[in-house]
Amino acid sequence: MNWAVAIKGACLAAMLALVGGSLIPSARAEDVTLTVWSHEADEPAKVAFRDQVASDLEKQHPGLHIKITWFEKNGLYTALRTALPAGRGPDVFYLEPDQLHQYVTAGYLLPLDDLVNWNQIYPWARAVWQENGKSWGIPQEVNDNVIYYNKDWAKKLGVVLPVGGQLSQSAFVDLVKKARAAGMVPIAQGVGDRPYPGAYIIGEALLHKLGKEDYAKLWTGKLSFSDPRVVEVLTWVKQLVDAGAYPKDFMTIKLGESFYYFYSKPGALMLPMGSFYSGRAFAPPDKGGQPADFPLGIMQYPAMDGGACNNCQTAGIGSSFVINAATKHPKEAAEFLDAMSTPASGAIWIGKVYEPGAMKTDITQFGGPHGAYLSELMESQKNVDPFIGMPLDLMTDGGCKDAFGQVLNSAFPGGLLSVDKAVQMMNAACYQH
Amino acid sequence: MPQPAMGIRLPPAVVSWGRSSVDVWQPSPLTLTLFLGPAVLIFVGFTAYPVLRTFYNSLYLVGPKGAATFVGLHNFSQVLRADPVFWTAVRNTAIFTLVGTPLDVFGGLLLALCLFAGVPFARSLRVIWFLPVLMSYVVVGIIWVWIYDYDWGALNLLLHAVGLGRLEHSWLGDPATALWAVMAAHLWKWLGFNMIVFLAALHALPGDVLGAAELDNCGWIAKAIYIIIPMLRPTLVNLLVLSFIGKMMIFDLVWIMTQGGPLWSTETVSTYVYKRAFDWNTFDLGYPSAIAVLWFIIIIAFVLVVSWLLRQRDRLEF
């Protein structure tokens, strides 16, 4: 047998099969597979919610298959940054508002104004996702920045607060000192894998002191960090740091670990956190959730002396979803977004995740094992004047964001910088003279 | 068709390209293509093209959906003149490399000499010292983050147990100690590799030379300094260069342990390139590509200088 001819023929046949196979439609015309990339892989309640929405939608639309790939946030963002420029991104993906500007500028998002049912979403939540007069993402999760605390430990220190109670700035310092003296870790917080948790107390204190307008100006580079009010707040935070407010492992504790640190081992008095706390904390205890009998309390951030808005509170939009501008299935993608946003879905979201959502739902109706927590959370928000957007959502410059992560999130609360040095570094990176 | 010698019948598809004193089977171009093709394709697709593309991107401002604007050397100029974080990363990487490389290589040599000298439990020690090499950087990083944990990490607990509690420290949380802490973890991982390479080289040394040294009443240390190490010079140079290159590109361990913090004290050039490419508020790859190209050139230059400085000037005869 002429082996040379046989081998050449086999190679040719293989090539033809590869090329020809790609020309043949791989599915029937009505079959659509919608690819979704999502964060929250380590939050079982949210995974359950999105899986249920996907499953229900598939039942309603035979031929529609929704394939969700779960990531951790950093991994998701890295995957998107390589897949989208290569034209290989998913149809729908998770995004947070701090990413909006760059993705819109890069042209990777489909405007949603005429695609989704906006009657299901609160207008103020929709506004977070608007740029250049268009809406680019559908918000799902609303994070209220509160301070979770151990009620029993606080009582031992002589502090009993009403729901959503608020201490003065000096009383807060006293509480931290008392906790340290009693051998407690005052604040469980870690910045090992996120660029924002270390700045919760700083951010809310600045919001209370400056008021909404000047607070927004600070993070958009229009107000200097040398402003006496800013220096006053940073000086107060320095008192907390010097009093031992944060754990020694502050630099390396990861976000998820700080939850466990707070309600389990070794335990801490307080945990400043967004209300996405429930996504991890209400997992079963053997899967890292808080103990069933944990005495969880909720307080507001301290009132600042002479503060312009001590009842202001940051309400950030967290998990949201967008549609890839290159998708071949915009209609199906929009249906998936709508399906996640119905009042019924909102009810499922709250029933599983115990968090406020951006979908219009009457959340006072719900009970369940954590219904009391939800009632307490909503009670704590009664007199709050919300400021929509975390500092990182407001910044658009990469250098400023990097400095925020290294300075105000990490080094300053970690006790590595003086007030003057922190002011100098933030001004150098963010202030537009 | 020329007939092969010794009555060996070649398949008709194989063409002999010429006669030599010993006839060998010369593969045809088709055979070469079929066997080398996949490896070449993978090399071109995953190594050569990305490198060339990085060089290309460094000269452009890469906009949305790949739209590129030629900016020439502007990116390089910005990196060298207006980026303090880049210079911090260079300094950290230089310290990591210049201190870590000799520790790595000479530490491995020391371990190899111990095993070669026949210390007790040499076989077990060889396995124990080599085990970290088999672990991935992720596992090593996580292990050492736990070791360095302030509250329950092994290091602080040990210090406390031996009465040195005052030395307990947040090793990864202090800019003064974080880089050294990462370096220690890196050393722990790679000492065993250098040890094994040196051990193989030691066992390949000519026994008669070492025997002659013993006959001349040469002590172990003198034997090591004047005979063994000079004969190991090629291995030493190769490991120094390899270790040097590896440390100049260090990324994984730093990313797992500190992500360049605190306050950029462990930021290396590789982690900074990654952050500029994936963590900043832009899809532009031109600037991080410029940093990568600059660093590539610096590494090549250093390797050439180090190789020239450590070249063998005379030939060892034995």
Structure ipTM: 0.80
B197 vs B65 pLDDT, higher one: B197
Same domain, A259 and A347: no
User: How many Å is the Cα radius of gyration of chain B?
Assistant: 26
Same domain, A161 and A259: yes
Whole-number mean pLDDT of chain B? Answer: 87
Q: Identify the helix (H) or strand (E) that includes residue B216.
A: none
Contact A252 B258 (CB under 8 A): yes
Same domain, A222 and A294: yes
Same domain, A132 and A177: no
Å between B105 CA and nearest CA of chain A: 30
Same domain, A112 and A50: yes
Q: Is residue A371 one of the residues assigned to a domain?
A: no
DSSP secondary structure code for residue B168 in this structure? -
Q: pTM, whole model, 2 decimals?
A: 0.83
Report CA-CA distances (Å) from A269 to A159, A188, A243, A254: 11, 7, 14, 18
Whether the CB of A396 is below 8 Å from some CB of chain B: the reply is yes
Phi, psi angles (nearest 5°) of residue A65: -120, 125
Contact A3 B13 (CB under 8 A): yes
Whether the CB of B13 is below 8 Å from some CB of chain A: the reply is yes
Contact A102 B258 (CB under 8 A): no
Whether the CB of B172 is below 8 Å from some CB of chain A: the reply is yes
Find out whether B88 and B230 touch, Cβ atoms under 8 Å.
no
Same domain, A273 and A396: yes
Locate all alpha helices (DSSP H) within chain B, ordered by sequence. Answer: 29-43, 49-57, 74-82, 84-116, 122-130, 137-147, 154-161, 175-203, 207-215, 220-223, 229-231, 233-248, 252-257, 269-278, 286-309
Instruction: Identify the pLDDT of residue B229.
Output: 85
Whether the CB of B264 is below 8 Å from some CB of chain A: the reply is yes
Find out whether A278 and A370 touch, Cβ atoms under 8 Å.
yes
Residue of A nearest to B265 (CA): A406
Q: Is residue A370 one of the residues assigned to a domain?
A: no
Residues of B in contact with A398 (CB under 8 A): 276, 279-282
- The residue ranges of chain A whose pLDDT is under 50 are 1, 17-28
Instruction: Identify the pLDDT of residue B62.
Output: 79
Residue of B nearest to A394 (CA): B281
Angle of CA points A383, A384, A385, to nearest 5°: 125
Find out whether A112 and A335 touch, Cβ atoms under 8 Å.
no
| Pairwise CA distance, residues B303 & B245, whole Å | 8
Contact B261 A416 (CB under 8 A): no
Å between B268 CA and nearest CA of chain A: 15
Å between A53 CA and nearest CA of chain B: 31
Residue of A nearest to B64 (CA): A106
- For the record, the structure tokens of B285 come out as 């790859």
Task: Say if strands A92-95 and A32-38 run parallel, antiparallel, or are unpaired.
Answer: parallel
B:202-231 residues touching chain A, CB 8 A cutoff: none
Instruction: Identify the pLDDT of residue A383.
Output: 86
Instruction: Kindly report, residue by residue over B268-299, the tens digit of the pLDDT.
Output: 999 999 999 988 878 888 999 999 999 999 99
Helix H, strand E, coil C: the string for chain A is: CCHHHHHHHHHHHHHHHHHHHHHCCCCCCCCEEEEEEECCCCCHHHHHHHHHHHHHHHHHCCCEEEEEEECCHHHHHHHHHHHCCCCCCCCEEEECHHHHHHHHHCCCECCCCCCCCHHHECHHHHHHCEECCEECEEECEEEEEEEEEEHHHHHHCCCCCCCCECCEHHHHHHHHHHHHHCCCEEECCCCCCCCCHHHHHHHHHHHHHHHHHHHHHHHCCCCCCCCHHHHHHHHHHHHHHHCCCCCCCCCCCCHHHHHHHHHCCCCEEEEEEECCHHHHHCCCHHHCCCCCCCCEEEECCCECCCCCCCCEEEEEECCEEEEECCCCCHHHHHHHHHHHHCHHHHHHHHHHHCCCECECCCHHHCCCCCHHHHHHHHHHCCCCEEEECCHHHHCCCHHHHHHHHHHHHHHCCCCCCCHHHHHHHHHHHHCCC
| Pairwise CA distance, residues A46 & A320, whole Å | 12
| Pairwise CA distance, residues A137 & A144, whole Å | 20
Q: Is residue A2 one of the residues assigned to a domain?
A: no
Residues of B in contact with A11 (CB under 8 A): 34
Of residues B173, B279, B281, nearest to A250 (C-beta):
B173
* CATH code assigned to B83-309: 1.10.3720.10
Å between B275 CA and nearest CA of chain A: 9
| Pairwise CA distance, residues A118 & A123, whole Å | 8
Same domain, A97 and A55: yes
Instruction: Kindly report, residue by residue over A116-169, the tens digit of the pLDDT.
Output: 999 999 998 999 999 999 999 999 999 899 999 999 999 999 988 887 789 999
Instruction: Identify the pLDDT of residue A11.
Output: 55
| Pairwise CA distance, residues A274 & A254, whole Å | 15
Residues of B in contact with A403 (CB under 8 A): none
B:65-84 residues touching chain A, CB 8 A cutoff: 65-66
A:280-309 residues touching chain B, CB 8 A cutoff: none
Residue of B nearest to A251 (CA): B173
- For the record, the structure tokens of A419 come out as 């007030």
Beta bridge partners of B61: B69
Same domain, A301 and A200: yes
Whether the CB of A2 is below 8 Å from some CB of chain B: the reply is yes
Same domain, A357 and A396: no
Instruction: Identify the pLDDT of residue B23.
Output: 58
Phi, psi angles (nearest 5°) of residue B10: -90, 145
Find out whether A224 and A283 touch, Cβ atoms under 8 Å.
no
The residue type at B288: P
Instruction: Kindly report, residue by residue over B99-143, the tens digit of the pLDDT.
Output: 999 999 999 999 999 998 888 998 999 999 999 999 999 999 999
Instruction: Identify the pLDDT of residue A24.
Output: 45
Give which of B85, B263, B285 to mutate to test A binding, by max A Cβ within 10 Å.
B263
Same domain, A244 and A341: no
Find out whether A47 and A280 touch, Cβ atoms under 8 Å.
no
Contact A252 B148 (CB under 8 A): yes
| Pairwise CA distance, residues A75 & A124, whole Å | 29
Residues of B in contact with A251 (CB under 8 A): 170, 172-173, 258, 261-262
Instruction: Identify the pLDDT of residue A34.
Output: 96
User: Judging by beta carbons within 10 Å of its beta carbon (0-12, 13-18, 19+), is residue A165 exposed, middle or buried?
Assistant: middle
Residues of A in contact with B176 (CB under 8 A): none
Phi, psi angles (nearest 5°) of residue A165: -65, 165
Q: Is residue A9 one of the residues assigned to a domain?
A: no
Count CB pairs under 8 A between chains A and B.
99
Residue of A nearest to B145 (CA): A252
Instruction: Identify the pLDDT of residue A12.
Output: 55
Q: Identify the helix (H) or strand (E) that includes residue B171.
A: none
Residues of A in contact with B173 (CB under 8 A): 248-252, 414
Instruction: Identify the pLDDT of residue A340.
Output: 94
Q: Is residue A399 one of the residues assigned to a domain?
A: yes
Domains of chain B, residue spans: 83-309
| Pairwise CA distance, residues A136 & A134, whole Å | 6
| Pairwise CA distance, residues A185 & A258, whole Å | 12
Instruction: Identify the pLDDT of residue A13.
Output: 53
Contact A248 B65 (CB under 8 A): no
Q: Residue A170, by phi and psi: left (phi above 0), alpha (psi -120 to 50) or beta? A: alpha
Residue of A nearest to B14 (CA): A4
Report CA-CA distances (Å) from B171 to A260, A410, A411, B181: 22, 15, 14, 6
Instruction: Kindly report, residue by residue over B174-221, the tens digit of the pLDDT.
Output: 999 999 999 999 999 999 999 999 999 999 888 887 777 777 777 778
Of residues A85, A248, A417, nearest to B170 (C-beta):
A248
Contact B263 A410 (CB under 8 A): yes
Same domain, A311 and A257: yes
Q: Give CA torsion, residues A357, A362, A364, A370, to 10 deg.
A: -40
A:6-35 residues touching chain B, CB 8 A cutoff: 7-8, 11
SS3 label, residue B70: strand
Find out whether A205 and A314 touch, Cβ atoms under 8 Å.
no
Find out whether A146 and A300 touch, Cβ atoms under 8 Å.
yes
Of residues A85, A397, A411, nearest to B262 (C-beta):
A411
What total number of domains does chain A contain? 2
Find out whether A195 and A409 touch, Cβ atoms under 8 Å.
yes
Of residues A3, A81, A248, nearest to B151 (C-beta):
A248
Same domain, A173 and A230: yes
pLDDT-above-70 percentage for chain B:
89
Residues of A in contact with B28 (CB under 8 A): 4
| Pairwise CA distance, residues A398 & A377, whole Å | 34
Give the CATH number for residue A389: 3.40.190.10
For residue B262, cis peptide bond before it (omega within 30 degrees of 0): yes
pLDDT-above-90 percentage for chain B:
64
Q: Residue A306, by phi and psi: left (phi above 0), alpha (psi -120 to 50) or beta? A: left
Range of the domain at A312: 143-316+385-430
Å between A179 CA and nearest CA of chain B: 17
Whether the CB of B148 is below 8 Å from some CB of chain A: the reply is yes
Other Cβ atoms less than 10 A from the Cβ of A414: the count is 24
